[in-house]
Amino acid sequence: MISHLHGITLIVAIATFAICSIVQFDLSFEHDPATSVKLIISRIDGEDARQSIKDTLEDMIDGSVQMMTTKIAGDTMTTTLAPVSDVDAFVKKINFGTVTEVDDRNIKVDYVP
């Protein structure tokens, strides 16, 4: 039974790939630089704070189809998210810290609990 399910799953995966290729559907897990912002948030004091920031950011992204990737190193969290159409309006919504720098679509924030 399990090998039968694996066979069906493989057939569905191949069919999906073939259909996407035929209609030239572009499936990408990369952020579009024209619609994404990169936040570097430092001085985060733990997992609860990181999760709270992620929840806040999810509510700040435009549209119904959203992307967010996060990397953590020590007390710094780097998050890239999209789509964000208006960077200035996005920056004004940041309520979890002090914005220390905005360079095009790159935003640096010092977390403030």
33-64 pLDDT, tens digit per residue, is 889 999 999 999 999 999 999 999 999 988 87
What pLDDT digit, counting tens, does each position of 84-101 carry? 999 999 999 999 999 999
pLDDT number for residue 33: 84
CB 38 within 8 A of CB 79: yes
Most confident of 15-19, 30-34, 43-47: 43-47
Q: CA–CA separation, 87 vs 106, rounded Å?
A: 9
**Could you give the CA distance from residue 45 to residue 77 in angstroms, rounded to a whole number?**
11
Q: What pLDDT, on a 0 to 100 scale, did the predictor assign at position 25? A: 46
Q: Residue 24: which region, alpha, beta or left (left: phi > 0; alpha: psi -120 to 50)? A: left
Handedness of CA 44, 46, 48, 51 (dihedral sign): positive
Q: In this predicted structure, what is the pLDDT of residue 103? A: 97
**For the ranges 4-13, 65-74, 100-109, the one whose mean pLDDT is highest:** 100-109
* pLDDT at residue 15, as a whole number: 56
β-partners of residue 99 are 109
- Give dist(CA 7, CA 95) in Å, integer: 50
